[in-house]
Structure 1
Amino acid sequence: MGVCSNKSQYMISKEELIIQLLDINNPGNVNHRYANNFTLIPNKYIGTGIKQTNQYSTNLSRIEWDLIQNQFWNSHKDSSEWQLIRKALSQEDESLAFQILSQANFKLIRNSIQLLVKDKQIYQVPIFVINEPTFCSNQNFELNFETSILKVRVRSSKLPQDFEISTQNTSTIQEIKQIILQVANEKTCRLFLNGRELIDQNQLGNYSISSGTVLFKLLQYQVIQAFL
């Protein structure tokens, strides 16, 4: 009987730990991964039923918000489980969403599609793919721009001296990151322009980068300055 009791207590304890992931202040909450682009609003909610979440604002433009949503789902395109979650999210009729998830043996934690369990695997769904933001940035995002050549001088405490990158405004943010990481001997970094994080698949020209100063911030908190 003691063994059964201990097992029962273990199961309860494990479930309680999973439930805590719904707390937006919990460091394990998936939304913390996207905190540079999305700000959750405590005690204010949007959506109904299983799609109810905290409200949030974003420093992304509407176009960038669409892009980052597509980027999220593209990163999970090879997962049948994530594609089923996406299908459930697309249903206006909640009973159909429940049907899709239950047939695939998903268990909703606290009746929220933000947190699901299947075959001992936990699936955390970021709020930004469930509901729309209450506020989007009005910063411009240029879709049509003329191709031009840029010379970028990069400065960092990780580098022995400044170096210059010759590129085009059609280069993607990811391509610029790879050049920086190779020279700085780092594994990852995030790039910012006027407090706005630049998204990997976007091009320099999307941000109207042609002159001025851009700050490139490494994850290790070193700051790289690039003068165009």
Structure 2
Amino acid sequence: MGVCSNKSKKSMNQYEEQYIYLLDIQHPANVNHKYANHFTLIQNQYTGQGIRRTHQYTTILSRIEWENKQNEFWDSYKDSMHWSNIRKALSQDEESTSHLLDLESSLAILALCKLKMIRNTIQLLISEKQELFQVPVFIINEPISLNNQQLLLDFQTSQLKVRIRSSKLPQDFLINIENTSTVLELKFKILEASKEKTCRLYLNGKELIDQNYLGNYKITSGTIIQAFL
């Protein structure tokens, strides 16, 4: 029995070694490359403790946008039991005043659902069925800097009727708003009208930033804004 267990452990360790490259932030298969438009990882600089230790990173997003990006990530895996347990393991530090208790609780959760960390980091896990789970750094730790810059009111004030278009809606609809309103204010109006919970807005393929004014994007009445709900 012991021999079989050792063979199984050795086999698992060998399997893990095949995926060490996924922890290299320079490797194109590293999960963080998918989010390079929003986050920049810093080589040889780290943040977090224990299993939460990751590279430091900066972001072009505001805090609200960063939080929305986290919510979007978890929403995309809401039907996965493994991802639910990974999220629960990460949330332990919010429920405990002791880092040691936090670590023990997190490890217990991962062990219970038979998820094993590769190189003792929650960034990369492997299941009993040899499924891989990569956790991007923006899910694990906060950035060292956020975008707090707001563009200037360098345009003439006007009333707008913008056209909102989405594949989830049967037809376009108009929203009355001032060009001195922020993108975030427009989002609130869209969510209220569509009864959705989250949205991202694009104009000519460019994502609109929450804290910027509509006038900064030269939006006028009749402009079509694409909403991803």
TM category (shorter chain) comes to 0.5 to 0.7
Pick from 116, 120, 145 the counterpart of residue 125 of structure 2. Answer: 116
Shift of 1:150: 2.8
Aligned to 1:55: 56
**Mapping for residues 203-214 of structure 1, pairs under 5 Å:** 207-210=212-215, 212-213=217-218
Aligned to 1:149: 161
SS at match of 1:128: helix
TM-superposition CA deviations, 1:115-135 (whole Å, max 9, x none): 000011100001001000000
Q: Which amino acid aligns with 1:117?
A: I
SS at match of 1:88: helix
Inter-partner Cα distance in structure 1 for 2:49 and 2:19: 22
Number of aligned positions between the proteins: 171
Query: 2:89 touches 2:109 (CA, 8 Å); kept in 1?
Result: yes
TM-score (norm 1): 0.64
Inter-partner Cα distance in structure 1 for 2:136 and 2:63: 17
Inter-partner Cα distance in structure 1 for 2:111 and 2:163: 55
Aligned sequence identity (%)? 44
TM-superposition CA deviations, 1:7-27 (whole Å, max 9, x none): xx9977753331110000111
- Structure 1 stretches of 4+ moved >6 Å: 9-13
Structure 2 gap segments, 5+ residues each:
1-9, 94-101, 152-158, 165-171, 176-185, 192-198
Q: Which amino acid aligns with 1:122?
A: L
TM-score (norm 2): 0.64
Q: Which amino acid aligns with 1:45?
A: Y
Structure 1 gap segments, 5+ residues each:
1-8, 142-146, 153-164, 181-190, 215-225
TM-superposition CA deviations, 1:69-102 (whole Å, max 9, x none): 1111111111111010000001121011000001
Inter-partner Cα distance in structure 2 for 1:41 and 1:175: 28
Shift of 1:171: 4.8
Aligned to 2:104: 95
SS at match of 2:214: coil
Inter-partner Cα distance in structure 2 for 1:65 and 1:16: 32
Shift of 1:59: 0.2
Aligned to 2:144: 134
Q: 1:122 to 1:39 in 2, by over 3 A?
A: same
Aligned to 1:184: none
Shift of 1:174: 5.3
**Residues 1:107 and 2:112 are matched in the alignment:** no
Query: 1:61 touches 1:140 (CA, 8 Å); kept in 2?
Result: no
Inter-partner Cα distance in structure 2 for 1:109 and 1:12: 9
TM-superposition CA deviations, 1:10-55 (whole Å, max 9, x none): 9777533311100001111110111100000000000011000000
Q: Which amino acid aligns with 1:89?
A: L
Inter-partner Cα distance in structure 2 for 1:212 and 1:136: 21
SS at match of 1:210: helix
Shift of 1:139: 3.0
